[in-house]
Amino acid sequence: MFRREVRVFFLLYPAFRRFQKDRKSAKSESGKDWDYRRERNGKKAVQLFIELGPAFIKLGQILSARPDLLPKEYISSFEKLQDSVPPSPFEEVRPTLEENLGKLDEIFDNFDREAISGASLGQVYRATYKGKDVAVKVNRPDAEFIVKRDIVLLDRILRFARGRIENFLYLSINNVLRDFRKRIIEEMNYEKEASNSKRIARNISGREKIIVPRVYDELSSKQVLVMDYISGTKITDVRKLKEKNIDIQKLAYDLDISFIRMLLRDDIFHADPHPGNISVTDSGEIILYDFGMVGDLDDNTRYYLLSLYDGLTRGDIDQIVDSLIGVKALSPAANRGVIKKSVELGMAGMSGKRAEDSEIRELLEIANDVVFEFPFRLPTSLVLYMRMSSLLEGICLSLDPEFKFVKVLRKLFMEEGLLKELYEKQISMFMEDSIRSIEAGVAILPLLRRKLESEEEKPQSSQRGNLNYTIFGGILMLIGVYEYGQLKIIGTFILIMGFLISVYGILKRA
C-alpha cells in the first residue's frame, strides 16, 4: 500500500502542477483560441490515468464532463478515454463465477472460455443456457480491492493538498471524488445494473427502435450478470452498416431521438453511450449494452435544460443565463452582467451561423466556457447528462457528417409538444413570481404607511388613500428593478404595473 501511495503521488504531482498552471492560464485567456500546450498536457494526463489503472480510468471519464474544473483542451482529451483493457485469464475469474453460479458445466450447455470483451472492472463471456445464447459479465477478481485502495489513496492525497491549493478547487475536487466513490461502487454492483436495464427496457417498450438484452435474474448476482447475447454491428462501423443496406442517416436520427426522449421523458437515462456500448442488428434496430452508468433528472432540472436548449437555439442571452442558474451550473450570486458578456462573446464567435445550424458541441462549449469562468458545483445528474450528450453527438456525426443535433431537437420539441410544455411552465412560473412579488410589496406597505403618518398626519383620508397608491406603485417599481436583473420578462411586467399604479395615485391626489 505504501509503495503504491508513493508511486501514485509522484506520478500525479507533476501532472497536477501542470493542470493548475493550465487552469489559471485558461481563466486569464477566456475566449481566446485553442491552446496546444494545454492540449498536450491534457493528453499526458489521460495517458497517466490509463497507466494508474481502473479507478483512475473511471475517474477520468467523469472528469471529461466537468467544464467547471477542466480547461476545454483537457476536456477534449478526457472525452476520448475509453474503458477497454485486455481480459484476465479465465482461470482467474472462474472462482468468482462458480462461487456465484455453481459448477459452470452443470449450469450452462456450453461456456466459451475466451472473453469477448474486457474492461477495467469486469469482462464478458459467451455461453449457452437452456438453448439460448447468453452473455455472462463477471467482476475481475481484484477489481473491488484495487478500486477501494485507490479511492483511499486519492482521499489521502487530497487531504495533503488542502491548504496548498485554492479553496474552491479543493472543494470541487472533493465533491467530484465523493460522487465518483458512490458511482464506481454502484458500477461494480451488477444487481444495480440489472435493475437499471430493466427500468430502461420498461420505459422504452413499444416506443423506441431499441433492444435492451433481457436479464436472467435466477443467474445474476452482485458479482455476475447474465443477459441475452444479441449480436450486432458496432454502430461506428459505417462501412459494414452500409454493406447491410442500413440507412445510416436514419440510424443517427433514431439514436438521437431515442436518447433525447429517454432524457426528457423518463425517470432514468443511459449515461455512457460510447461506441462499444451500442450495436445495430441487421434490420437496423439499436442494441444497448452496459447499464452501469445511468443518470436521472428531476422536473426542475429538466425544465431548465429545455429552457437552455430553447435559449441557445434562439440566441436569447437572458434565457441562457437564467437556465444555467436554474440547472445550478452557475451561482445565483455570480455577476450577471459579466456572465452575459461572456455568453455574447461565445455566440458572436459562431461566425454568423444560425444556432439551429450549429452542432450541439458548439453550443455546449459556450455554456462550458461560462461555467469554467464562473464555477459552481455541478449536480451529478447534470455531469452525466453532459457526458451523454457529448458521446452521443460524436456517434451521430460519425454516421452522418451533416447531422445537426439542434435541428433534431427542435423537431422533437414541436412534434411532441415539449416547447408548448416549456412555455406553459414559463407562464406559470411568471405568474407565481409576480404574485410573490406583489405579496411582498403589500406586506411592506403598512410599515411605510405608518412611518409616513408618524411624520406628517394628513387631515384628508382620501389623500391618505391616494398616497397608498403612490407608495404601493413605487414599491412595485423597486421590486421590478430587482426582478429585471433576475428575469427580464417578470421585471418588465412589475415595472409597468408599478408605474401605472403610481401615476394613478398622483393623478388622484392632484
> How far is the C-alpha of 423 from the C-alpha of 413, rounded, in Å?
11
**From the CB of residue 114, how many other CB atoms can be counted at a distance below 10 Å?**
8
**Residue 110, helix vs strand vs coil:** strand
CA–CA distances in Å: residue 182 to residues 85, 169, 191, 298: 23, 20, 15, 19
Which of 83, 150, 272, 322 does the annotation list as catalytic? Answer: 272
State the amino acid at position 217 in one-letter form: D
Count Cβ neighbours within 10 Å for each residue of 142-167 and write b for 16 or more, e otherwise.
ebbebbebbbebbeebeeebeeeeee
In the numeric block, which cell numbers belong to residue 260?
433525447
Report yes or no: 150 and 55 within 8 Å, Cβ to Cβ.
yes
Q: Is 272 a catalytic residue?
A: yes
Cβ neighbours of residue 231 closer than 8 Å, sequence gap 6 or more: 279
Residue 31, sorted as left (phi over 0), alpha (psi -120 to 50) or beta, turns out to be left
Angstrom distances, CA of residue 315 to CA of 150, 255, 328, 348, 494:
44, 26, 20, 10, 25
**DSSP per-residue letters across 120-140:** SSEEEEEEEETTEEEEEEEE-
The Cβ of residue 428 has, within 10 Å, a number of other Cβ atoms equal to 10
Between CA 307 and CA 312, with CA 310 as vertex, the angle to 5 degrees is 110
**Cell (9 digits) for 357:** 445550424
Instruction: Round to whole Å and give the CA distance between 189 and 222.
Output: 5
**CA distance linking residue 212 with residue 205, whole number of Å:** 9
Q: Classify residue 267 as exposed, middle or buried by CB count within 10 Å of its CB (0-12, 13-18, 19+).
A: exposed
Report, as residue numbers or ranges, the catalytic residues.
Answer: 272
